Amino acid sequence: DIVMTQTPLSSPVTLGQPASISCRSSQSLVHSDGNTYLSWLQQRPGQPPRLLIYKISNRFSGVPDRFSGSGAGTDFTLKISRVEAEDVGVYYCMQATQFPFTFGPGTKVDIK
């Protein structure tokens, strides 16, 4: 199974300041079709997860442009350019390149 790790696991951020979360996979997430099925999810308190970014760097419909994704192979990053109060929650990276699909442990983002 592909193991996903995230750092940090907790990120207290000042409103208006940037935040960055790293995700690493235990093996390359490049699929045989050439795509890399690495997604970022946001889970606000009491809510189901919501897709933010798919295939490393593509923002999903309705996602603010302060969220961006980057990376390749086994190393990926989610950046929030200026954290807003509504960004509080847990962020997960997820790979759908190989079964079983696997998730990172989550990074809790809260306001200092």
List of residues contacting another protein (CB under 8 A): 35, 37, 39, 41, 48-51, 54-55, 58, 60, 92, 94, 96, 99-106
Closer to another protein at the Cβ: 59 or 82?
Answer: 59
CB of 15 to another protein, least distance (A): 26
Closer to another protein at the Cβ: 24 or 55?
Answer: 55
User: Cis omega (within 30 of 0) on the bond before 45?
Assistant: no
> Cα(109)–Cα(107) distance, rounded to whole angstroms?
6
CB of 45 to another protein, least distance (A): 12
Report DSSP letters for 35-77, one per residue. -B-EEEEEE-TTS--EEEEETTTEEPTT--TTEEEEEETTEEE
Closer to another protein at the Cβ: 16 or 34?
Answer: 34
CB of 68 to another protein, least distance (A): 16
Residue 53 contacts residue 39 (beta carbons within 8 Å): yes
Closer to another protein at the Cβ: 50 or 66?
Answer: 50
User: Cis omega (within 30 of 0) on the bond before 8?
Assistant: yes
